[in-house]
Structure 1
């Protein structure tokens, strides 16, 4: 009996303690990773790079890693691929549709490489994706409308590509999205309705146009940052925009806005820190209501078509540290408190230059560049010399 047990005992020891050379990553995922690598031009894969270490003689999720699969992907405890995060070495190629076979993928980051072609609609089946970053590549075509199926997505960054067409209305369906960056592409048309939980919105450097409507922003109670500069938005920026309850930073410079309505903030609507509306076509008088935002520190309305005096309240605004009003048709004498030596406003930076102001001290940096010729100012003010107020 004892003699019979010995072989069984040693067999069991061998079974439990001898490593097997079988694959631990599911075959469908290995197939997807192989397709991922084969879609990249070999000449763009340096031997020292992450993709250069993807050698399929070893299992992608095996441990310990020695010379293969050193970086670029992460697996969970169940040997499923949960993250692809590439190094920025200039990989050039397309994104394989078979990436959809990585069904447990949470992060897909191809940023700062040279991927091109269209974004495969198949990525919309990756229901666990929380982060997609294709920033600064060369992807083209439109955003697949099926992207609205990614219910777990929190961070979407397609900035710095050549994507075009209209923004899909299905963006609104991304209910967990907190950060959206589509800057520096070729998108056109109007803003669609935006996801309700956004904290950061950046779509600067595109060709978006039309009015900025309340429809797009309704319900965005957590929105803190809006970056929509260098587009073609037009019309009047209405007062509801400044009443978004969590709004802190606004950049709508380099558009074609013709007016801005701003009221005194309602109770609780007081977190606005920085506003940039420079290089638009905003007409009318400089509103005093900007000064009613208690923590406003930076305001730019440079190179618009504003006229009339600078309200004294701007001089009394102790939180204000940057004020750019240059390139307008402001008239009268600027508040003397701006130039009080050693006063609480002596730290104010910016410019009041290139206006129709009188008595702006030439020695002050705030008064640079020099004011417009009086002949130009008279044309704007109906042939009369602007009033000193």
Structure 2
């Protein structure tokens, strides 16, 4: 929301700071009029941008409209960024006549229907943002894949798009930001993704299958992966944390059962945050995480992890120390070092089988599991010994 407000403010500032714009191209003016006409009048609040679009005989969009559009010096509409005023309606096909449009942002409204195939004719489009609307159907018409070669940002989150993510999406090679979160997308990840991705956000869908190395190994610019809130399973493999530019990984709320962490070995040096909470991960906390120098935030809440908190997290953490450590809801045992409790860290060690975690500390909430549960988990395996501490 903040990003969209800033974008709107920049466009408004350009309106007053740029040289006097030329008279609007007649085709562009007609397309803008068609866009407003396609919006249900009762969904246009007073004092909103669309309410101010006056297409009377004397009005000219590029010289008189105060918000919602930006024009080039030759009178062509270059950007449409509508305010989130609750506009409702379907996009008219004639919007494709805005041939010089590079930005189309309709976020935080109630536009509905499918994305018009005619948008594929907007060959100069660099940013398409339809976040938080009511669009349905496939995420992109197949015709997009050949014509929108300049597209850099595709944000379609919080709609009702459905179906598979097509592998042919990878042909949009200029895309750096792809956000398809909170839709109804199904099936596995495609066999390939746009090669220049920096941010990939697919959270809150119905995606299944595994996270395959072949999909990601060529994404040398990828910084953010968010696959949380889906139905992925299998193993989180060691290569994932060692992608060249990766900074944030969120795989929470899936069904992963195993987590492998390779030694950093000079890779993954920019990794800052990892969230694998609310999965089905068994085994022990990976000690190799301590070797990632920029990793300061780790969440493994509500899995099936056992064993002690690795002593390397405190005694041999490479680079920056952990500042956020959410370990709650597992079966970890041993004594929590006072240095972790008193070091100003944010997180939780609660709902485990740990010792020495004072209830007066917010880090120790909720309470540890009842003793009988911990005993039943560890009885007979020979792994828990009286007096165990971190790494002992």
Determine the structure 1 residue equivalent to 2:162.
164
Give the greater-gyration-radius structure (CA): 1
**In structure 2, how many angstroms separate the alpha carbons of the residues matched to 1:155 and 1:377?**
49
Determine the structure 2 residue equivalent to 1:124.
120
**What is the TM-score normalised by the length of structure 2?**
0.86
Contact 2:199 2:224 in 1 (8 A): yes
Match of 1:226, SS state, is: strand
What stretches of structure 1 of length at least 5 have no aligned partner?
A: 1-22
**In structure 1, how many angstroms separate the alpha carbons of the residues matched to 2:62 and 2:330?**
65
Matches within 5 A, 1:234-273: 234-273=233-272
Write out the 4+ residue segments of structure 1 that deviate beyond 6 Å after TM superposition.
Answer: none
Match of 2:283, SS state, is: strand
**In structure 2, how many angstroms separate the alpha carbons of the residues matched to 1:33 and 1:297?**
48
**In structure 2, how many angstroms separate the alpha carbons of the residues matched to 1:363 and 1:113?**
46
- What's the CA shift for 1:62? 5.0
1:73 aligns with 2:69: yes
Determine the structure 1 residue equivalent to 2:216.
217
Determine the structure 2 residue equivalent to 1:110.
106
Contact 1:61 1:80 in 2 (8 A): no
Contact 2:109 2:132 in 1 (8 A): yes
Matches within 5 A, 1:365-384: 365-382=362-379
**In structure 2, how many angstroms separate the alpha carbons of the residues matched to 1:348 and 1:307?**
22
1:331 aligned to 317, 330, 333, which one?
A: 333
Change (3 A) 1:371 1:127: same
- What's the CA shift for 1:271? 1.0
Determine the structure 2 residue equivalent to 1:153.
151
Q: Tell me whether 54-63 or 239-248 shows the greater mean CA deviation.
A: 54-63
Contact 2:62 2:77 in 1 (8 A): no
Determine the structure 2 residue equivalent to 1:20.
none
| CA-to-aligned-CA distance 1:175-224 (integer Å, 9 cap, x gap) | 11111111111111112222111111111111111101112212111111
- What's the CA shift for 1:337? 3.5
Determine the structure 2 residue equivalent to 1:31.
30
What stretches of structure 2 of length at least 5 have no aligned partner?
A: 1-21
Q: CA RMSD in A?
A: 1.9
- What's the CA shift for 1:72? 1.5
1:359 aligns with 2:361: no
**What is the TM-score normalised by the length of structure 1?**
0.87
- What's the CA shift for 1:336? 4.6
Change (3 A) 1:70 1:267: same
Q: How many residues are treated as equivalent by the alignment? A: 358
Match of 1:43, SS state, is: helix
Q: Tell me whether 205-214 or 23-32 shows the greater mean CA deviation.
A: 23-32
2:79 aligned to 52, 59, 83, which one?
A: 83
Match of 2:143, SS state, is: helix
Contact 1:24 1:59 in 2 (8 A): no
